[in-house]
C-alpha cells in the first residue's frame, strides 16, 4: 500500500498524466482528417457571416466525435476579428432547454445571466444580441440526445433564424445514437436542414498509432514495450474500436505498475488493467442510458437475477428470458414509478439499442417454445447490473419496487 510520501514522490511511470485523459485534445488527431474537414465545411459559412447548415455527428463512444468538434472549435477561436461566437455545451450537465439557453447567455452575456430571467426573456435577449452585429452563433451540443425537452430546444434555436434579419444560429449536435432523431417531433425535424456525419470505430492498427503518440508523451521513456502496446490496442478494438477504452487501460496499467513499485508496465499489468477497465466501462455505459432504456435494462437484470418465470430456459450457466415477460415487467416498473410505459414498438427499438452496445444478446426461439418469440440474455452479472441501475433509477436511499409487483 502506498503512503502519502509515495504519492508525493515524483512518478517513475508517468511523465504527464493529463495526456492519457479521454478529455485531452491532442494537437494532432490522426485517422480523423476527413471528419475534421467535414466539420470545418459545416462551420465555414459562419466565418463569412453566413448561416451554416446544422450538423449532426454520430458514432459509438470513443470514436473521436467530441475531440474532433473541440479541435475545430479551437481553430475557429484562434481566427481574429471573427463574428462567429461559439458555445460548447455538455448536455449531461445542461440537460434542458432552459439550462442550455442559460449556458449560452452565460458564455456571451455573463452579467445578464446572473439576473434570474425566464426562458422567454433569455430567448429575446439572445436574439437581440445576435442581431446587434449580425453575429453567427454556433451551438455545439455534446450528447444532445439526453436533453429532456429536446423538441422544445431544437425548435427554439432554429426559430431564432426566422425571427432575425441578420446573423443566425448553427447547431452542431453530437450523439452516440444514430437513431435519436426518430424521437423528435416532425415539427422540430422540419426546421433542422442538417448534414450528418458518422464516425466509424477505430481498427486495431489505428488504435495502436493513436495510443503510441499518447504513451510517448504520457509515460517516462521505455516504460512500455511494443508488445504491451499492441495488446492494449487489440483489447480496445475488441471493445468496439473505442479509443477511450485504450486510454483508460493505459492509465490503469500505469497505476497498477506504480503500486507494485515497478518502473515498467508488463503484460501482467496490461491484462489486469484491461479486465478492470472493461467492467468499469460497461457499468458506465449502463448508468448513462436514457431513462426508458434503463428501465428495460433493469427489468432484464431483475428477471435474470431471479431466474425469470420460465426456469426451463436456464442451461445451468446462462438464463434466457422471454421478450414478452421483460416487456410486462418493464410496464409494471414504469407504472410503479408513475411513468407512462412506451409502446411495444419503442420497446423493440430499446432492445436493439441495448444489443448494439453489447449489454444484451437476443435471438428468435423458432417454433416449439411458446410459439415464435424472442429470447434475451444479459451479458453482464445481473446482481451488479441491478445494483448500478437501482442507484440511478431510485437513488441510493430509496428502495426499488418489489420484483413481483404486478408481475
Query: Does residue 398 have a pLDDT over 60?
Result: no
Q: Note the pLDDT of residue 190.
A: 73
pLDDT category of residue 312 using cuts at 50, 70 and 90: very low
What residues does 319 pair with on adjacent strands?
314
338-375 pLDDT, tens digit each = 999 999 999 999 998 888 777 888 888 655 555 557 89
Alpha-carbon span 98 to 362, nearest angstrom: 39
Determine the 3-state secondary structure of 121 from DSSP.
helix
186-225 pLDDT, tens digit each = 777 777 777 889 999 999 999 999 999 999 999 999 999 9
Q: Note the pLDDT of residue 174.
A: 95
88-121 pLDDT, tens digit each = 999 989 999 999 999 999 999 988 866 678 889 9
Query: Does residue 402 have a pLDDT over 50?
Result: no
252-288 pLDDT, tens digit each = 999 999 999 999 999 999 999 999 998 887 888 888 7
pLDDT category of residue 292 using cuts at 50, 70 and 90: very high
Alpha-carbon span 150 to 184, nearest angstrom: 7
Q: Note the pLDDT of residue 404.
A: 44
**Phi, psi at residue 198, to the nearest 5°?**
-110, 130
pLDDT category of residue 399 using cuts at 50, 70 and 90: very low
Q: In Å, how far from its chain's centre is CA 378?
A: 21
Domains of the chain by start residue, with CATH: 33-199 (3.40.50.300), 204-286 (1.10.8.60), 289-393 (1.10.10.10)
Alpha-carbon span 94 to 103, nearest angstrom: 8
52-67 pLDDT, tens digit each = 789 999 988 889 999 9
DSSP annotation string for 18-48: GGGSTT---S--TT-HHHHHHHHHHHHHHHT
Query: Does residue 12 have a pLDDT over 50?
Result: yes
Amino acid at each position: 500500500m502506498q503512503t502519502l510520501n509515495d504519492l508525493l514522490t515524483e512518478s517513475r511511470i508517468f511523465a504527464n498524466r493529463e495526456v492519457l485523459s479521454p478529455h485531452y485534445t491532442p494537437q494532432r488527431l490522426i485517422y480523423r482528417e476527413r471528419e475534421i474537414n467535414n466539420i470545418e465545411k459545416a462551420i465555414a459559412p459562419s466565418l463569412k457571416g453566413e448561416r451554416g447548415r446544422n450538423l449532426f455527428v454520430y458514432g459509438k463512444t470513443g470514436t473521436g466525435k467530441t475531440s474532433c468538434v473541440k479541435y475545430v472549435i479551437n481553430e475557429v477561436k484562434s481566427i481574429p476579428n471573427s463574428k462567429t461566437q461559439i458555445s460548447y455545451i455538455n448536455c449531461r450537465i445542461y440537460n434542458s432547454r432552459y439550462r442550455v439557453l442559460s449556458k449560452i447567455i452565460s458564455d456571451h452575456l455573463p452579467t445578464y445571466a446572473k439576473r434570474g430571467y425566464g426562458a422567454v426573456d433569455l430567448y429575446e435577449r439572445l436574439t437581440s444580441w445576435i442581431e446587434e452585429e449580425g453575429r453567427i452563433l454556433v451551438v455545439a451540443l455534446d450528447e444532445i440526445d439526453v436533453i429532456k425537452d429536446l423538441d422544445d430546444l431544437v425548435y427554439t434555436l432554429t426559430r431564432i433564424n426566422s425571427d432575425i434579419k441578420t446573423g443566425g444560429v448553427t447547431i452542431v449536435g453530437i450523439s452516440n445514437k444514430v437513431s435519436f432523431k426518430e424521437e423528435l417531433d416532425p415539427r422540430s425535424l422540419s426546421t433542422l436542414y442538417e448534414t450528418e456525419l458518422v464516425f466509424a470505430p477505430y481498427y486495431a492498427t489505428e488504435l495502436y498509432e493513436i495510443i503510441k503518440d499518447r504513451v510517448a508523451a504520457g509515460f517516462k521513456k521505455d516504460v512500455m514495450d511494443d508488445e504491451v502496446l499492441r495488446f492494449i490496442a487489440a483489447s480496445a478494438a475488441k471493445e468496439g474500436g473505442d479509443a477511450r477504452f485504450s486510454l483508460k487501460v493505459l492509465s490503469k496499467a500505469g497505476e497498477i505498475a506504480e503500486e507494485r513499485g515497478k518502473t515498467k508496465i508488463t503484460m501482467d499489468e496490461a491484462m489486469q488493467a484491461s479486465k478492470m477497465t472493461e467492467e468499469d466501462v460497461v457499468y458506465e455505459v449502463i448508468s448513462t442510458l436514457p431513462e426508458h432504456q434503463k428501465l428495460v435494462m433493469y427489468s432484464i437484470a431483475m428477471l435474470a437475477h431471479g431466474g425469470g418465470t420460465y426456469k426451463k430456459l436456464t442451461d445451468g450457466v446462462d438464463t434466457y428470458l422471454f421478450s414478452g415477460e421483460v416487456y410486462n415487467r418493464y410496464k409494471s416498473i414504469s407504472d410503479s414509478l408513475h411513468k407512462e410505459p412506451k409502446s411495444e414498438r419503442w420497446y423493440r427499438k430499446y432492445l436493439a439499442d441495448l444489443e448494439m452496445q453489447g449489454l444484451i444478446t437476443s435471438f428468435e426461439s423458432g417454433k416449439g417454445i411458446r410459439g415464435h418469440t424472442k429470447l434475451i440474455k444479459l451479458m453482464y452479472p445481473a446482481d451488479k447490473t441491478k445494483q448500478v441501475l437501482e442507484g440511478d433509477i431510485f437513488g441510493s436511499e430509496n428502495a426499488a419496487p418489489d420484483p413481483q409487483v404486478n408481475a
